[in-house]
């Protein structure tokens, strides 16, 4: 089974850059998109038809604020169940979560809040991590297996960004943000890419400024984290850093059903 996560930084713009050509070539079973910045009725009909021809089952969770945030989960087969949000209105109005239940696992498509340049949203971001973990702990206690994917918006270790010392006080690499990744790992999750490739240096996001992508001055912000009980079924995790169309690149997870 192939799952792909991608922060497209505006779905309408990404579709005009023909990102569907690459997606169709990959033929994922599940495609999780973040920062779609649009409602489905704002997409061109031809794009809707193209999406639906590949993915007959699409769940949208746009933000209430126009042109902001939003996630979408696209699948080739119908999920067993779908839930939007975390049942917390302050998060759910921003369209940041889709939970979809599949045979053998529960998938969370996540767009974690950014802490903001002035750090004003860091407490909001940390509360999001806490609320999500409470849900995951309950599911783990019930024996469920979970896949978390999306733009987690935090680099866990120094290897995960090009300039760690210069960004020690930048949101996305603050100690209190990184500690939450440690907490998730202590609560039964595995960062699949780093588990498979402990010393490999690859990034998933580059600022549009300073010619950063060509110079590979990036951050690894996009993850697949899976329950420990699922790790043995993981075949590979791939950062597709050669794929353009957004300031993020797609990440692929291959699991043995």
One DSSP character per residue, the chain reads -EEEEEE-S-HHHHHHTTHHHHHHHH--SEEEEE---S-GGGS-HHHHHHHHHH-SEEEEE--SSTTS--EEEEESS--SEEEES-S-HHHHTT--EEEEEETTEEEEEEEPPP--TTSTTHHHHHHHHHHHHHHHHHHHHTT--EEEEEE-----SGGGBS-TTTTTTSTTS-HHHHHHHHHHHHTTEEEHHHHH-TT----SB--SGGGTTTTT--B--EEEEEEGGGGGGEEEEEE-TT--SSSB--EEEEE--
Indicate the burial class of 49 (C-beta count within 10 angstroms; 0-12, 13-18, 19 or more).
exposed
Catalytic pick among 151, 160, 191, 241: 151
Is 151 catalytic? The answer is: yes
- Identify the burial level of 53 via C-beta atoms within 10 angstroms of its C-beta, where 0-12 means exposed, 13-18 middle and 19 or more buried: exposed
Q: How many C-beta atoms lie closer than 10 Å to residue 142's C-beta?
A: 8
Q: Which residue numbers are catalytic? A: 151
């Amino acid at each position: 089974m192939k799952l792909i996560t991608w922060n497209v930084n505006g779905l309408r713009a990404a579709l005009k850059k023909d990102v569907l050509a690459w997606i169709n070539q990959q033929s994922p079973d599940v495609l999780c998109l973040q920062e779609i910045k649009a409602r489905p009725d704002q997409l061109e009909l031809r794009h809707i038809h193209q999406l639906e021809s590949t993915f007959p089952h699409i769940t949208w969770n746009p933000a209430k604020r126009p042109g902001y945030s939003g996630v979408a989960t696209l699948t080739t087969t119908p999920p067993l169940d779908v839930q939007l949000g975390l049942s917390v209105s302050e998060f759910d109005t921003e369209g940041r979560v889709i939970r979809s239940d599949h045979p053998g696992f529960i998938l969370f498509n996540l767009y974690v809040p950014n802490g903001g340049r002035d750090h004003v949203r860091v407490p909001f971001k940390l509360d999001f991590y806490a609320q999500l973990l409470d849900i995951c702990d309950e599911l783990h206690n019930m024996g469920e297996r979970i896949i978390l994917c999306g733009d987690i918006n935090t680099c866990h270790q120094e290897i995960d960004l090009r300039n760690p010392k210069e960004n020690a006080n930048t949101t996305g690499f603050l100690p209190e943000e990184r500690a939450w990744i440690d907490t998730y790992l202590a609560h039964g999750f595995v960062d699949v890419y780093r588990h498979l490739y402990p010393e490999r240096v690859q990034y998933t996001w580059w600022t549009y400024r300073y010619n950063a992508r060509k110079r590979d001055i990036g951050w690894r912000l996009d993850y697949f984290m899976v329950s420990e009980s699922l790790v043995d079924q993981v075949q590979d995790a791939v950062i597709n850093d050669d794929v353009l169309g957004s300031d993020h690149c797609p990440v692929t997870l291959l699991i043995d059903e």
